[in-house]
Amino acid sequence: MRVRHLRDKNAWHRTFVPEHAACVVCAPDLQAVRFSLEVARGMDYIATLKMVHRDLAARNVLLSSKLECKITDFGLARDLYEGDGQYIANAGYKESNPTAWKWTSLEGLRQSTYTIEGDVWSYGILLSEICSLGDMPYADVRQFSNDFLDFLKGGGRMKKGQHWSPILYGVMTDCWAFDPSDRATFKVIALRKCSCCTLRPRTTPFLSKKSPC
């Protein structure tokens, strides 16, 4: 089975965009919802195993030739059978995984505390990658700093892109709630997406120059 990384914007174009397409704006709502649904279902299964992934991002999701999403890279995953549903990382975590901070929850950045609710936050960042066709989150922020942390603590969040799905952006903001208990579970997110996916048939094209999100 042919697979590509969901993060690889060029691979999306090579695989799914017709040669005659002069301008590709973004993934249509329905296909973006389907990608996000499949990831949410996978993460819900991981949550039932009482595991925290800790590195959920488009770069760690594979996309098959049938447009099926598969979550990969469990090198940072930990079980949560002990520790009251949370994992406390050691002090060297940020140094050992320096690129992950843009996907890391606020409590992960502040206290090195990782939970399923923290994975939900990361999932929200992944949704921004889907809607932007793989653009880097917080593209204008080059490195982690106290200013970035203060931005998040003060309620600052990523703004909606011009062509992003309003439905998915609403899910993103739910994922980025300050209080982890206010974030939707992966099961609830998946149920929401199921209702969206029944609106139109599977034959909707992956990319379109006519239908922005």
Mind telling me the catalytic residues?
Answer: 55
CA distances from 80 to 10, 100, 111, 192 (A): 37, 20, 17, 26
**Whether the Cβ atoms of residue 132 and residue 152 lie closer than 8 Å to each other:** no
Distant-in-sequence, close-in-space partners of 192: CB < 8 Å, separation ≥ 6? 171, 184
List the 3-5 sheet strands across, edge first.
3-5, 61-64, 69-71
Nearest to 59 by CA among 48, 49, 73: 73
